[in-house]
Amino acid sequence: MKWYKHATGSLTQNKKILKLKARLGSDFIKGYGLFHACLELIGAHLEPDSTECKLEWDENLLAAHVSISVCEVKKLMEALVEEDLLEYKDGSYRCPKMLERLDNTMMQSPSLKAALKNLKSLEPDKIRKDKTRKEEKKDPYAPSVRLTKTEYNKLVGLLGEKAARDCIMKLSDAKGAKGYRYKSDYRAIRNWVIGEITGHPTSYWEEERSKKKDVLQECPQCGKNLKNETRNHASHCYHCGAPIGGANEVPDKATDGS
């Protein structure tokens, strides 16, 4: 694929792009640029006999290519997935709607025509139902604080269990005392509570996590590779349940010199 169509109004009229802007703030232009870099890389491997709109590069290659840290690339890619600009499936980032950006010469391919027809056959109601079905249930982890199991495991994997619990209780107390309301308690914890409890912003701990990601490649109990656990900031091995987050325990703010 030599080129793809790009709408000139996407920066100011595309709802998903506008939501990404609101989410990333001053980092929006990085996320926007990374998104289009991903589209170019996906398009470069898209041929008439291949309809798989998959990004062949991982976060490390992307970071080297766009000259920003691996930790920042992971944060931006997570935002692109959560705002439904990209998908993450079977260990790879994808953009099925890339098929809608094809030029007329490529659309002569029967396989690509069939793939695009299949994509367009997915009705909006069905897509919404699929997304709703995949949404994880949120459970109470403290009074007024509800998280999914995945969100809780991410916090524990990033901070250690004690600091994660401290952050949850801090948010619970703040919501009870001051009447704070949040669409996502997990995002609130990441945005300000972690800084209050640990003395460092979330980005600091993500950078520390990134530095340590190669230290533990296999589960010490069952020997399983921990690639997925590391990506999801999991605190336990998915295979045997053994704890794996101990190396990332956050020291108490009062004793860590900050």
- Dump pLDDT digits (tens) for 150-204: 899 989 988 989 999 999 999 999 999 988 888 889 999 998 999 999 999 988 8
Q: Is 160 inside any structural domain?
A: yes
Q: Are residues 89 and 26 in the same domain?
A: yes
Q: Are residues 127 and 17 in the same domain?
A: yes
Domain boundary among 79, 111, 133: 133
- Collapsed DSSP state (helix, strand, coil) of residue 172: helix
Q: Are residues 63 and 77 in the same domain?
A: yes
Burial label for 200, CB within 10 Å (0-12, 13-18, 19+), is middle
Q: Are residues 99 and 70 in the same domain?
A: yes
Note whether 172 and 143 are within 8 A (CB). Answer: yes
Backbone angles phi and psi of 110, in degrees to 5: -60, -40
Q: Is 4 inside any structural domain?
A: no
Q: At what angle do helices 59-66 and 28-44 cross, to 10 degrees?
A: 110
Q: Are residues 144 and 242 in the same domain?
A: yes
Q: Are residues 115 and 168 in the same domain?
A: no
pLDDT score recorded for residue 194: 94
pLDDT score recorded for residue 88: 85
Q: What is the mean pLDDT of the chain?
A: 78
Domain boundary among 104, 133, 162: 133
Q: Is 110 inside any structural domain?
A: yes
Q: Are residues 171 and 108 in the same domain?
A: no
Q: Are residues 123 and 142 in the same domain?
A: no
72-81 confidence digits (pLDDT tens): 898 899 889 8
194-220 confidence digits (pLDDT tens): 999 999 998 888 888 776 655 556 777
- Look at the chain and report how many structural domains it folds into: 2
Domain boundary among 133, 160, 178: 133
Would the pLDDT of 235 be above 80? no
By residue range, what is the domain housing residue 220?
138-248
Q: Are residues 200 and 242 in the same domain?
A: yes
Q: Are residues 129 and 16 in the same domain?
A: yes
Q: Are residues 121 and 223 in the same domain?
A: no
Taking the CB of residue 13, how many other CB atoms lie within 10 A of it?
10
pLDDT score recorded for residue 132: 47
pLDDT score recorded for residue 217: 64
Q: Are residues 142 and 113 in the same domain?
A: no
